[in-house]
């Protein structure tokens, strides 16, 4: 018998032997099935978060081994204190459906260590100039992306967005894509189309 034939027969014998020693085929009571965990963005089975607001931060230029922590709200000062103790904290991601009204709601972000940054994904246009200017008062390193459902309601809103230092990009859910209303925006503009 050739060596490779013997090896093949040995392998088949081992597989058949393992199958013969598998779990018993007698009837067993069904195992209780745990409910599936709520998908990201659906705490307590609430409404699903917008798919574009489920970030995965992939920065090719960031070569450090770091931790990313995500919140769906502005963290409280005691939560920031816990984050400061996290070894290798690189990014704090805030996925917000509503704009904070003023700087007082954002002040806790100034407690973050200087080596970490805050990446904010924010939905909608600022409700007031104060809400837009509040982000300029935050001393932590900020990067902001704004997801909007349509063209800006007025030129004043565009001016408020242009004055936001941390705003990196505006993504518009406009189908078909159109720059109408965004002509004076001084930030990169992208378009999002969601197919369900």
Is there a domain that residue 119 lies in? Answer: yes
Domain that holds residue 130: 47-191
Inside any domain, residue 138: yes
Establish if 91 belongs to a structural domain. Answer: yes
- Judge if pTM exceeds 0.85: no
| Residue 7 within any structural domain of the chain | no
Whether 116 is in a domain gets the answer yes
- Determine, yes or no, domain membership for 107: yes
For 100-122, the DSSP string reads -SSGGGTGGGGGS-TTSEEEEEE
Per-residue tokens: 179: 């720059």
49-73 tens-digit pLDDT: 444 445 556 666 666 678 888 999 9
pLDDT at 120 over 70: yes
Highest mean pLDDT among 41-45, 115-119, 165-169: 165-169
What pLDDT is stored for residue 29 in this prediction?
A: 53
What domain count does the chain have? 1
Q: Does residue 30 fall inside a structural domain? A: no
The confidence score (pLDDT) of residue 1 equals: 52
CA distance 111 to 133: 19
Residue with tokens 């705003």: 167
Name the range with the highest mean pLDDT among 6-10, 59-63, 98-102. Answer: 98-102
Q: Using an 8 Å Cβ cutoff, are 110 and 136 in contact?
A: no
Of 52-56, 101-105, 190-194, highest mean pLDDT: 101-105
- What strands lie across the sheet with 117-123, from one edge to the other? 67-71, 89-96, 117-123, 141-148, 167-172, 189-191
Structural domain contains residue 41: no
Kindly report the average pLDDT of the chain as a whole number: 78
Q: What percent of the chain has pLDDT over 90?
A: 51
> Which band of pLDDT confidence, cut at 50, 70 and 90, is reported for residue 17?
very low
């Amino acid at each position: 018998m050739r060596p490779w034939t013997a090896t093949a027969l040995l392998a088949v014998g081992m597989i058949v032997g393992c199958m013969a020693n598998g779990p018993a085929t007698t009837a067993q009571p069904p195992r209780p099935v745990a409910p599936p965990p709520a998908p990201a963005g659906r705490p307590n089975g609430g409404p699903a978060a917008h798919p574009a607001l489920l970030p995965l931060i992939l920065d090719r230029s960031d070569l450090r081994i770091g931790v990313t922590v995500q919140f769906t709200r502005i963290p409280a000062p005691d939560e920031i204190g816990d984050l400061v103790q996290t070894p290798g904290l690189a990014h704090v991601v805030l996925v917000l459906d509503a704009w904070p009204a003023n700087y007082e709601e954002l002040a806790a972000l100034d407690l973050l260590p200087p080596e970490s940054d805050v990446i904010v994904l924010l939905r909608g246009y600022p409700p007031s100039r104060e809400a837009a200017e509040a982000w300029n008062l935050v001393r932590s390193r900020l990067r902001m992306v704004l997801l909007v459902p349509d063209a800006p309601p007025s030129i004043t809103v565009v001016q408020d967005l242009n004055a936001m230092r941390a705003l990196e990009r505006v993504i518009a859910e406009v189908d078909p894509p159109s720059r109408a209303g965004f002509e004076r925006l001084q930030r990169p503009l992208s378009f999002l189309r969601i197919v369900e």
